[in-house]
Amino acid sequence: MKTLFHSFPAVLKAGLVAVGVLAAGACAYNETLGRNQLLFVSQGQMAELASSAWTDLKKQEPVTNDPKYVSRVNRVAPKIIQAAGENPADWEVQVFKSDQINAFALPGGKIGIYTGILDLMENDSQIAAVMGHEVAHVKFNHSGERYSQTAAAQTALSAGGALAGDSQVGSAAIQALGLGAQYGVLLPFSRKHELEADKFGLRYMNRAGYDMNEAVRFWEKMAASKNGAPPEFMSTHPSDATRIAQLKREIQLIRSGS
């Protein structure tokens, strides 16, 4: 009987084999996360890649020194970073003046947070929830993992393309592999990263003495402010319902000592 792999066109098999060869030498088990991570690059390498992007971003995006925002962030961020086992002196946190309801993290200990999202935050615990989330992304090298997943997907597409030529069958196979990479690997892993960042961000804010319930309240507020979102399987982020449900479960686990 043919296996699923043997039923694939040759172009798809070539791509999958190429990914397998790459992944075999790059998977490492992360005990804290409880899973393997595909990493072709180290934390240090990712920090080097992100350094120039961070410098450019600070030139392109308006930065604010308004104490209304900066004092709040500076009060919370060091506590969260320390709770994650990191040295606050090694991190840089910048507040950008923008209505964007967003925050982000870059490898090398860089965190950006926008005044738009700070305007929604009612207290320090809600800032701590987002800060904890961003610190977790950096600590677990999620950027490096995403970089590696993308590289693996591109390798598969390149290997498949070499065999596909100009045939219509080859073209269709490439499109199928591309969609498979996007919806079957890259986006779900991104959602996994988001949920991991939520999970460990809660632990950091709890260690720092903040109220974990405020993380739930903040995401409920975020959910109420949206006009709609794509289906979860087509999104790089988990649905608000998924995220809130996990936060509630994790809070119970933390309080029970699990």
Residues serving a catalytic function are 134
Query: Given the DSSP bridges, would you call strands 103-106 and 92-96 parallel, antiparallel or unpaired?
Result: unpaired
What does the DSSP assignment read for 188-228? HHHHHHHHHHHHHHHHHHHHTT--THHHHHHHHHHHHH-S-
Cβ proximity of 187 and 234 under 8 Å: yes
Residue 175 CB partners (closer than 8 Å, separation 6+) = none
Cβ proximity of 134 and 104 under 8 Å: yes
Q: What are phi and psi of 41, to 5 degrees?
A: -130, 150
d(C-alpha 3, C-alpha 50), whole Å = 42
Sign of the dihedral defined by the CA atoms of residues 121, 124, 125, 128, in that order? positive
Assigned token pair, 210? 């903040």
d(C-alpha 32, C-alpha 85), whole Å = 13
